[in-house]
Amino acid sequence: MAFGSDERTPLTDAIDAELRERGHEVVRFGALLPGGDDAWTHVARAAGDAVASGDCTYGIVCCWSGTGASIAANKVRGVRAALCGDAATAQAARVWNDANVLALSLRATSIEVMREMLDAWFGSSPTQDLKYRAMIDELQ
């Protein structure tokens, strides 16, 4: 699981711990590494590259609002990053958009809501509905 942030916060520490508890190998990017790059553009693209290359199946990217990280990650071909603020949106992103990167706001996401979003994210799978698959494939 690729995990990048432009700063290290109690939320990023909780995300890292939660992912490990769920059995994921976490590959960290940006400010989550000692001396790591703290530019959200670089962090999100690096995490996106890890997902697009197949080195990581999924990714999580964070910045203050989550918006910049989602935009930067989406610049990587093959990444479908979704900025989510609740479990229903995270589930919809996986089901209807086959999102492979979850973008979160460091400012607006509580640890409890983050756990709910991860439950929804990992508990959902992309639709096999041909209409939606065709729309997702258009993005490739």
**Residues with catalytic annotation?**
63
Q: Say how far apart CA 94 and CA 26 lie, in whole Å.
A: 20
Q: Say how far apart CA 109 and CA 105 lie, in whole Å.
A: 6
Neighbouring C-beta atoms of residue 75, cutoff 10 Å? 12
CA distances in angstroms from 11 to 102, 108, 111, 138, listed in the order given: 14, 10, 6, 34
**Which contiguous run of DSSP H or E holds residue 62?**
strand 59-63
